[in-house]
C-alpha cells in the first residue's frame, strides 16, 4: 500500500455509528444463551464483570475527561463521570453482585485486572480519540449485555435489579451522546481512524474476556 493510500485510510472523518454497531455485534456473539450456562458459570461471569468494570470504568472516564480536546468529548466524559460518582454506580454494581451471590474473589480480581492491563497500557498514552472510542464503545455495547446480565442474575435469585434498571434507562441517551462526541474528537486529530478502531476493539476484547463462560 502506498503512503498516500495509507494516509487516506488513517485520515478523514470517521463513522461512529458504524464503529459502535460493529462493536455491538461482536459483543452479542459472546452472549451465550442463558439457559446453556450453569449457575457456577453465571456467578463467575458476574464476579469477573464486577471486578473488571467496577475497578476500571470510572478511571477510564476520568482519563477521557482530561485528555479529550473537543468540548463535546470532554462534556460527554465529564457528564458520565459525574453520574458514575454522584449515583455511586460502582457501589450499585457491588450490590447487584452481592444479591446474585457473586461477589468477586481474589481470583476474579486477578483475572479481570490481567485483562484490563491490555487496555490500561493504551489508556496511559492519554489519547483523547482512543479514550472516547473506548468508553463510548463500553456505553454502546452495554445496551446488549446489561439486559443479559439481568437474566443470568435472576437465575441466581437476585431480587435487586437497580443496576440493570438504571443502566437500561440511562445508557440509551449516553450511547447516542458518544456517537456525537467521538466524531467531534476525531475531527481534531489528523489520523483518527486507527485510534478510534483501537479504542473500540479494546473495549470489545475486554468485555468478551469477562464474559467467557469456559475460562
For the chain, give the longest Cα–Cα distance: 58
**Cα dist from 159 to 40, 41, 178, whole Å:** 18, 19, 31
Amino acid 2: pLDDT: 34
Work out the angle at residue 144's Cα, subtended by the Cα atoms of residues 139 and 145, and round it to the nearest 5 degrees: 85
DSSP string, 167-192: HHHHHHHHHHHHHHHHHHHHTTSSSH
Phi/psi region, residue 59 (left: phi>0; alpha: psi -120 to 50; beta: rest), is: alpha
C-alpha cell at 117: 492491563
Work out the angle at residue 149's Cα, subtended by the Cα atoms of residues 39 and 117, and round it to the nearest 5 degrees: 95
pLDDT digits (tens, 9 = 90+) for 33-71: 999 999 999 999 999 999 999 999 999 999 999 999 999
The dihedrals phi and psi of 31, each to the nearest 5 degrees, come to -90, 90
- How many whole angstroms separate alpha carbon 127 and alpha carbon 131? 6
Residue 1 has pLDDT above 90, yes or no: no
- How many whole angstroms separate alpha carbon 26 and alpha carbon 47? 22
Which domains are present in the chain?
15-210 (1.20.910.10)
Q: Collapsing DSSP states into helix, strand and coil, what is residue 149? A: helix
Amino acid 213: pLDDT: 83
pLDDT digits (tens, 9 = 90+) for 106-150: 999 999 999 999 999 999 999 999 999 999 999 999 999 999 999
- How many whole angstroms separate alpha carbon 166 and alpha carbon 147? 11
pLDDT digits (tens, 9 = 90+) for 165-203: 887 666 677 788 899 999 999 999 999 999 999 999 999
Amino acid at each position: 500500500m502506498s503512503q498516500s493510500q495509507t494516509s487516506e485510510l488513517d485520515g478523514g472523518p470517521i463513522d461512529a455509528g458504524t464503529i459502535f454497531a460493529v462493536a455491538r455485534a461482536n459483543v452479542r456473539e459472546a452472549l451465550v444463551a442463558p439457559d446453556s450456562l450453569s449457575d457456577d458459570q453465571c456467578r463467575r461471569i458476574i464476579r469477573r464483570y464486577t471486578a473488571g468494570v467496577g475497578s476500571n470504568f470510572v478511571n477510564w472516564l476520568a482519563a477521557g475527561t482530561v485528555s479529550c480536546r473537543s468540548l463535546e468529548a470532554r462534556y460527554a466524559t465529564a457528564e458520565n463521570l459525574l453520574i458514575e460518582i454522584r449515583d455511586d454506580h460502582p457501589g450499585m454494581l457491588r450490590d447487584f453482585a452481592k444479591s446474585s451471590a457473586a461477589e468477586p474473589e481474589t481470583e476474579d480480581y486477578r483475572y479481570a485486572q490481567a485483562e484490563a492491563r491490555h487496555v490500561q497500557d493504551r489508556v496511559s498514552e492519554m489519547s483523547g480519540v482512543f479514550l472516547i472510542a473506548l468508553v463510548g464503545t463500553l456505553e454502546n455495547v452495554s445496551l446488549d449485555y446489561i439486559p443479559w446480565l439481568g437474566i443470568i442474575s435472576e437465575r441466581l435469585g437476585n431480587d435487586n435489579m437497580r443496576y440493570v434498571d438504571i443502566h437500561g434507562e440511562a445508557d440509551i441517551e449516553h450511547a447516542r451522546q458518544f456517537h456525537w462526541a467521538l466524531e467531534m474528537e476525531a475531527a481534531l486529530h489528523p489520523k483518527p481512524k486507527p485510534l478510534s478502531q483501537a479504542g473500540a476493539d479494546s473495549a470489545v476484547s475486554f468485555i468478551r474476556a469477562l464474559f467467557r463462560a469456559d475460562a
